[in-house]
Structures are given as structure tokens and as C-alpha cells.
Amino acid sequence: MPGQGRGASLRKRVTAVDEAIIRVHRAEWARVVAALARRFGDLDLAEEMTAEAFAVAVERWRADGVPPNPGAWITTTANRRAIDLLRRESCRDDKQRQALMLYDDPSAQPHGVIDDDRLRLIFTCCHPALAMESRIALTLRMVGGLTVAEIACAFLAKETAVGQRITRAKSKIKAAGIPYRVPAAEDLPARVGGVLAVLFLIFNEGYLSSDPAQEAVRGDLTGEAIRLTRLVHALLPADGEVAGLLALMLLTEARRTARVSASGELVTLGEQDRGAWDAALIAEGHALVRARIAAVAAGQGRPGRYQLLAAINAVHTSARDVRDTDWSQVVALYDQLAALDPSPIVALNRAVALAELDGPEVALALVDRLDLAGYHAYHATRADLLRRLGRSVQARTAYDRAIELAGNTAEVAYLTRRRDQLTPM
């Protein structure tokens, strides 16, 4: 019937528009928020007007279609909404009045060492006046575009606590008049630790999304984290930890396309098609690791956390087959990492490597001492070790708990298959 045809066409159009909005949100959210934050000097205003612009897009684009340059459309709409709001208010601070005057003259905006709004926003959010956890949470929200729930998952914390942390951090930035700029060279060392922590968490959220509503692997987040880390590396080319984090990201990103099967299931490192890895990214990552090893050997500092993690990944990506992995070197690198960061998550990863050297029983004894009951990877590791020991009943219980805690759809699919392969009780 003609009416049915028109209805099907409308549903198809709405679906296409919704998909376009999702793509634009991923690509443009951080850029628009960062631009508004620099112009108006108000994080709340920047976030609210950007969100409002996307809400308007949902309505307008469904009626009129997606504009030729959707990112520019969102930016213009967000700016106009902000201008309208400020004009309606009776009180405006000097920064906001200046923003109104500069609205038609973008060339008058001051630029830093690197002309990138998102990098400036990261350094603003990572100001030393804020507690480290607040810096990380705020930047994940404002730059990474992560939801409070996703950030809470990254922190293994409650959503209410994370939300309050973000609100307090924004208020402190506004009250203290913290500038939106890349800091001067002498100020960079005090900021870079928080910046690297944020970039690593943004990358990790893309590498293994914690939101079941999102794709299992989010290339938009991993790609943006790498892009921003390259910019930080350009600012601080001699910083070993910056180089280490960039190398770690490149070596991890090189395996991204091999991490999820055609059926949407996670593919573990040992089962991945190594021929599908990105050889260029691996070569670049290895070159950075070798350069850092040479620098340390020449007495230029000691390897930090990111350098050690990059070195571990370099060992994994150097092996043509998982059976060729130098597990003794991996364990030795984890020993160094544990000396720097004696956290239970480092101990868990070390135990996984140790299982390949000394067997699952030795590794399980170490894992069972860790206090990680709310962490899905802890239960997934226990399940695998118990499976290898033939303790199917206990393995099934551990798999059930891991599945319950895991938010990533590809990981849930993998864990479910492994559990269902256990010998029936």
C-alpha cells in the first residue's frame, strides 16, 4: 500500500539521521565544548549549550535532513544559544562580555603553543589546583564525552560520587579564574601527569567500552586519545612517560581490528590473527620503545609506568606466534611495574603472565589474595585459571560473576561461550 511505503521510507530516514547524529556527537562533542569553553570561560555553559545544540539537531535534522557540514552546524547553533542566553541575563562577567564582542571576530582569539582547543581544555581541566581524581573525572566528561556512568566504571566508584566530583571541579575552575590555555613550558611538568592519566583512560574506554549501548571497541575514542597524545609529545618530546604512553597506545591500537570477531565476540591476544595487526603502528611503537630503552641506558631517567607498559606490549607484538612470547621478560617487566605501582590490578596482570611460566595453580594462589571482588577482569581471570585446572564448578561460578559485572558486549559474548564450554555439572 502507498501509505506503508511512505512509512517505511520515513523510518529509514529517521534511522539514518539518528546514526548521523551519533557519528557527529562522537566526532564533534569535545571540539565544540572546548571552543565554547575558551570563548565564554564557563564549563557549565559550554557543556549545556553543546548538549542543547545536539537536542535541536535531533528535531531539525529529522525534518530538514542532515546539513552538508554537520559539525559547523552544531558549533554555530551552540554559539548562538550561548549568546542568546547571556544577552537575556542581567549579569555577565568580563570574560562573557568579551566573548560577545569577539563572536564575529574569531581571529582575535588568543592561541597557545599548539592551536588545538581540545588540548587547551585538557590542560585546563588538569590544573594542579584540582585533586587528581577530579582532574581525571572532569576531563573524561568534558573532552572524552564519557557519561558519568562510564567514568564511574573507570574509577570503580559510585555514579553519585563521580557526578559530585565533576560539579565541584567545574565550580572551582570558575571561581579561581583558571585560564583556558596550554600552559607555559615551565608549568607543563606540574600538569602532564594528570593529562596522561586522562588520555590513557579515554583510550581504555575506547579499547574496551564499558557501556553496553556502545560499540564494543570505539575507534573514535582511541583515535582521539592518540591524536591528543601526539600533540602532548610534540610539546614535550624529551618526556619519557609521554613517549611511553604514545608507544603503548600505538601498540595497542595496532591490534584493534583483530580484537572482535565477525560475530561480535572478543578475541583474546593469544587467539588473534597477527597478520591483521597494523604493521606501521607496531613499527612506530617499537621505535619509541627502543628510543626510551636507549635513553634509560644512557642515564636519562628511569622508566615510569607507561614506559613499562609499552615495553610489555612491545614484547607481545614482537612474537610472531603467542607460543613465541618471552613470558619471562613480561614477568620481569611486571615486577618493575609492581615496584612503582603496587596496585592489585598490576598484580592481577602479573599473575596472568606468571601462569604461562609457572602454571595456573601458582597464579591462582596469587589471584585469590587480591581484593578485587567488584572488578570483572578479576573474576574472568579466576575463571580461566580454574578452567585450566579442571575445576569446572568453581570456574562456572567465576564466569557467572564476570559476566554479571562486565559491561562490554563483546567480552560478555566471549565469557559466555567459555562458560558454556565447561564440562557439564
Q: How far is CA 41 from CA 29, 354, 367, in A?
A: 17, 50, 48
Judged against a pLDDT cut of 50, whether residue 107 lies above it is answered with: no
Contacts of 325 (CB under 8 A, 6+ apart): 315, 316, 319, 356
pTM here is 0.78
The yes or no reply on domain 336-425 and CATH 1.25.40.10 is yes
Region 84-112: what's the mean pLDDT? 57
Judged against a pLDDT cut of 50, whether residue 7 lies above it is answered with: no
Architecture of the structural domain at 1-103: Orthogonal Bundle (1.10)
From CA 417, how far away is CA 360, in angstroms rounded? 20
Rounded (10°) CA dihedral 383, 388, 393, 399: 20
From CA 353, how far away is CA 342, in angstroms rounded? 16
Among left, alpha and beta (phi > 0; psi -120 to 50; other), residue 198 is alpha
Summarised one tens digit per residue, pLDDT across range 127-146 is 888 888 888 888 888 887 77
With cut-offs at 50, 70 and 90, classify the pLDDT of residue 416.
very high
Judged against a pLDDT cut of 90, whether residue 149 lies above it is answered with: no
With cut-offs at 50, 70 and 90, classify the pLDDT of residue 246.
very high
Amino acid at the residue 307: Q
Q: Which of 185-194, 220-229, 338-347, 393-402 has the weakest average pLDDT? A: 185-194
In the numeric block, the cell 582575535 is attached to 108
Judged against a pLDDT cut of 90, whether residue 106 lies above it is answered with: no
With cut-offs at 50, 70 and 90, classify the pLDDT of residue 213.
low
Contact 57, 50 (CB under 8 A): no
**Do 1-103 and 336-425 share a fold?**
no
Percent share of the chain, pLDDT over 70: 88
C-alpha cell at 421: 564450554
CA atoms within 13 A on the CB side of 325: 21
From CA 112, how far away is CA 21, in angstroms rounded? 31
Is 213 exposed, middle or buried, given 0-12, 13-18 or 19+ CB atoms closer than 10 A? exposed
User: Where are the domains positioned within the chain?
Assistant: 1-103, 336-425
Region 39-58: what's the mean pLDDT? 88
